[in-house]
Amino acid sequence: METKKFLSSYLWDLEPYVPGYQPQNNEGLVKLNTNENPYPPSPRAVEAMRSAIGENLKLYPSFDCLSLRSAIAKMEGLSTENVFVGNGSDEVLSLCFPAFFKQEKPIAFFDITYAFYKVYCKFYQVEYDAIPLHSDYTAPLSAFHGQYGGVLIANPNAPTGIAASLREIEEVLRNNPDCVVLIDEAYQMFWGHTAAGLIETYPNLLVVRTLSKGYSLAGLRAAFALGQPHLIQALINMRDSFNSYNLDAIALAGATAAVEDTPYAVANAKKVMATREWFTEGLSGLGYQTLPSAANFVFTRPPRGDAQQVFEALAQRNIHVRHFTAPRTAEWLRISIGTQEEMERVLAALTEIG
Ligand code: PMP
């Protein structure tokens, strides 16, 4: 039967994002392929979610999400009008594209960055320029200056893990006064710096952050955007034209408690960062070339560049990492940082693989 006729034509050649493998049976598995946090979420967040389960679920959740927005505002020294919340940063980013990036000029991002950006471009029919990273995978940020309809930077970048300095980010903001500069800070907590302090000065800055990584809440789907009120209101208008209750009551309770317990998350991030440095050194001892990471993963090249073979050999030992097969990344592996014990197991496996 010809079924294509049932579909809108724009769906015919969509190329959806392919997420990392999510096995359902985790026994004995070392799962280092989607940059999840190896430590559990704040017990206070778990307790808040338990308490949110009850008769109250017969009601719709808060549509203005004020408790979560004010917890985030308080943490950032901003006001609730500076905060938008969404169902994971994938949702927040997806609202940003039609809100800010459908311009006459193309938007710009790096050739090696979060793969979802290209998917959104196709979905929303936004033209883009993919600016090549330098050969050492650092970012030529001055390439963004002044000619685009929007700028999108993951900082720290993924999958490289390399962070651009706030001074460089400010240069981009200063040189692009007429378009939105979106800084995707998904991995901010493993770096410790943020562009959020520039929001008061730059009306074109939007910072997006997630609770998936730093707060160990990937399963919850909660994230936020920070910016001046005109940008935040635009996102609220987008959301209210799409799904006005985008965070459910359980997620709102859990995310609010998690943000209020940020020191717990920061302590876990510090453990991840210490393990990252230890693991990087261990890789170097095996002849791997590893980029300087400011995130909860490392991007590393096996001595012979045979990343596909190493990926498979690790998978056989029940260790799952990520391999991107595009030309500039094919010789590299992205390995999320797990617990110290997990990373010891990975290093032992890599030693054995040789
Ligand atoms: N941005 C970047 C750079 C990412 O790596 C990810 C995680 N894959 C996301 C955004 C999306 O994160 P989430 O939807 O879980 O908030």
Pairing of strands 223-227, 83-86: antiparallel
Residue type, 196: A
Q: Give me ligand 1 centre to Cα 116, in Å.
A: 9
CATH number of 22-40+263-353: 3.90.1150.10
Among 16, 18, 29, 17, smallest CA distance to 321 is for: 29
Locate the DSSP E strands across 6-64.
Answer: 30-31
Tokens of 321: 């990492």
CA–CA gap between residue 267 and residue 276 (Å, rounded) = 14
Cα 52 to chain centroid, rounded: 27
Residue 30 pairs in a beta bridge with 319
Residue 83 pairs in a beta bridge with 226
Q: Which CATH class is domain 43-260?
A: alpha beta
Q: Give me ligand 1 centre to Cα 352, in Å.
A: 32
Q: Give me ligand 1 centre to Cα 208, in Å.
A: 10
Contact 184, 153 (CB under 8 A): yes
Vertex 235 angle, CA 34 and 217, to 5°: 30
CA–CA gap between residue 94 and residue 203 (Å, rounded) = 20
Outline which parts of the chain fall under CATH 3.40.640.10. 43-260
Tokens of 282: 């261990």
> Each residue's pLDDT tens digit in the chain (354 positions)?
888 889 888 888 888 888 777 777 677 899 999 999 999 999 999 999 999 999 999 999 999 999 999 999 999 999 999 999 999 999 999 999 999 999 999 999 999 999 999 999 999 999 999 999 999 999 999 999 878 999 999 999 999 999 999 999 999 999 999 999 999 999 999 999 999 999 999 999 999 999 999 999 999 999 999 999 999 999 999 999 999 999 999 999 999 999 999 999 999 999 999 999 999 999 999 999 999 999 999 999 999 999 999 999 999 999 999 999 999 999 999 999 999 999 999 999 999 998
Outline which parts of the chain fall under CATH 3.90.1150.10. 22-40+263-353
How far is the CA of 132 from the CAs of 125, 151, 252, 329, in angstroms?
21, 14, 39, 12
The residue to mutate among 114, 297, 298, having the most atoms of ligand 1 within 8 angstroms of its beta carbon, is 114
